[in-house]
Amino acid sequence: MMKGVTNFLVTVALLYLGCSLIASAYDPAPLQDFCVATENSPSAVFTNGKFCKDPKLVTANDFFLSGLNIPRNTSDALGSNVTLVNADKIPGLNTLGVSLARIDFAPYGLNPPHIHPHATELFVVLKGTLYVGFVTSNPDNRLFTKVLNAGDVFVFPIGLIHFQFNAGSTNALAFSSLGSQNPGRITIANTIFGSNPLINPDVLAKAFQLDKNVVNYLQKQFSSENI
Ligand SMILES: *[C@@H]1O[C@H](CO)[C@@H](O)[C@H](O)[C@H]1NC(C)=O
Ligand SMILES: *[C@@H]1O[C@H](CO)[C@@H](O)[C@H](O)[C@H]1NC(C)=O
């Protein structure tokens, strides 16, 4: 009889633990209505998120941003421009687990292969035609692609490499919502070939099965040190 009760309690405890792990799988759930971010104290150690402003001092502007209607400059080498609205831009987003991006594309512009380590992305096209895709993890490395037009929505699952390419000869525009106040971004080419300091070229030549001259060329392209 006692044993049955104990087993029951253990089961309930495990279920609870399982549920709370699911509930906090990405950004942790807030413990209050809001926690508007304030400047981290320079003497503080890093926190998971940002310090909260005194709720009595919070105003509507802590939850507000304007200007996302303005087209961005897409004249860089890639022909794209990502405007991220995260908790750094809207302090009221702190602890709330969402963020937003505006992505402008010149004709044939590319948002190059990248990963958001902390967020799934829900992508909606407002203008133009975009060829988008993501690749699953090893061992399958399956590529999922789609051609999207205005009004179409596509999901990029958390942690997977994905890209968006403007397949049309007009500008394209998309917005994304992301499941983290700070989705993070790892742009594959820049991270691998433009790390600071640079990764030893022998490592990259072997990893990518490339001639070392090609590795040196790519490191020149992506390094901010301009070696
Ligand atoms: C994105 O657009 C803004 C505003 O037009 C501009 O200041 C910024 O340099 C652009 N970024 C890139 C990477 O082109
Ligand atoms: C866009 O950025 C480029 C390079 O930074 C600059 O030469 C150009 O004038 C900018 N265009 C606009 C419309 O601001």
pLDDT at 11: 52
User: What residues flank ligand 2, with Cβ below 6 Å?
Assistant: 73, 75
**The CATH fold of domain 2-193:** Jelly Rolls (2.60.120)
Ligand 1 pocket test target in 81, 114, 190 with most atoms within 8 Å of CB: 81
Note the pLDDT of residue 227: 44
Distances (CA, A) of 152 to 68, 148, 168, 175: 20, 6, 15, 11
Of the CA atoms within 13 Å of residue 101, those in its CB half-sphere come to 25
Instruction: Give how far Cα 8 sits from Cα of 3, 5, 92, 111, Å.
Output: 8, 5, 41, 52
For residue 78, how many other CB atoms are within 10 A of its CB? 16
**Low-confidence residues of the chain, pLDDT below 50?**
1-2, 9, 12, 14-22, 226-227
Could you tell me where the DSSP H helices lie in the chain?
2-23, 188-193, 201-208, 212-222
Q: Which residues of 17-38 are buried (b: 16+ CB within 10 A; e: fewer)?
A: eeeeeeeeeebeeeeeebbbbb
pLDDT at 105: 98
Q: What is the pTM of this model?
A: 0.85
What ranges do the domains of the chain cover?
2-193
* Paired residues of 172 in beta bridges: 105
Q: CA–CA separation, 88 vs 60, rounded Å?
A: 16
Going edge to edge, which strands form the sheet with 186-187?
143-148, 130-135, 161-166, 110-115, 186-187
CA distance 105 to 132: 13
Amino acid at 204: L
89 Cα to the center of ligand 2, angstroms? 23
- pLDDT in the model for residue 45: 72
199: how many CB neighbours lie within 10 A of its CB? 15
> From atom 9 of ligand 1, which residue's Cα is the shortest distance away?
73
Q: Which of 126, 124, 127, 134 lies closest to 107, judged by CA?
A: 127
The residue whose CA has the least distance to atom 4 of ligand 1 is: 72
- What does the pLDDT read at residue 49? 83
